[in-house]
Amino acid sequence: MESEITMENMKNTNVNTDKILAQLAEAIVANDEDAGMEAVEQGLGSGLNPVEMIENGLSAGMLEVGEMFEDGEIFLPQVMMASALMDRLVAEVQKEIPADEKTESDGKIVLGTVEGDVHDIGKNIVKVLLQANGFEVFDVGRDAPLASFIDKAKEVDADIIASSALMTGTMQFQATLEQMLKDAGLRDKVKTMIGGAPCTDNWAAKIGADVYAENASEAVTKARELMAM
């Protein structure tokens, strides 16, 4: 009997977890701050892992927003509002992490979308997941001049520079950034990561970047690997 009760409780926990994650995602898609805050409170109150709330709830909703934007179902102002709401909800989740569970930064990462490219949904999700996993992220924004990556890396003594390019026409700026880092005498001092829809492992190898990350979760994994090198 005790075994059956335990299994039933586990089923209820799984159902509640799935429901809360779905509510978090739906709140982002609907730009409903009240619903989002309620789901955050429920998740934290039930002991749901904060990183899971961010990755499988809020980020999932932001990915859907990105797909809707690409399909022409919504417009840029709606995307920006959804992104701003995600930032607020992520902040709420993160500040509830007990102080004794917070650790020193696992590494400093300069992150941005290269100049000429205004896409930043994916970059923003990468930023959130990196921060949730202990990295200190310095976001130079979208359509970022290449010099801003270098200047910020020097300023904060960065371990990794991560650049995103979402269009084939802006990919070349990732290659240019690699050369600029060499010219500045920084390439041997920092690791580089690239990402974006048209990018591949082959492209990373061709331009001399250390790694390519296909998505936000992989960016966290690759960042950890780079820090261990």
- The pLDDT value recorded for residue 84 is 87
Distance of alpha carbon 220 from alpha carbon 162, whole angstroms: 11
pLDDT of residue 100: 53
Which value, to the nearest 10 degrees, does the dihedral of the CA atoms of residues 90, 137, 215, 74 take? 50
Domains and CATH numbers, the chain: 2-101 (1.10.1240.10), 108-228 (3.40.50.280)
- Return the pLDDT at 148: 98
Q: What is the pLDDT of residue 12?
A: 43
Q: What is the mean pLDDT of each run of 10 residues along the chain (229 residues)?
A: 37 70 96 97 92 88 83 85 89 74 75 94 86 87 97 97 96 98 96 96 98 91 94
pLDDT of residue 129: 79
| The predicted structure's pLDDT at residue 88 | 93
The predicted structure's pLDDT at residue 134:
77
Other C-beta atoms within 10 Å of 119: how many?
A: 20
What pLDDT score does 149 carry?
98
Q: What is the pLDDT of residue 34?
A: 97
Classify each residue of 61-93 as buried b or exposed e, where b means 16 or more C-beta atoms within 10 Å of its C-beta: bbbebbebbeeeebeeeebeebbebbeebbebb
Q: By the 8 A CB rule, do 102 and 83 touch?
A: no
Report pLDDT for 98: 61
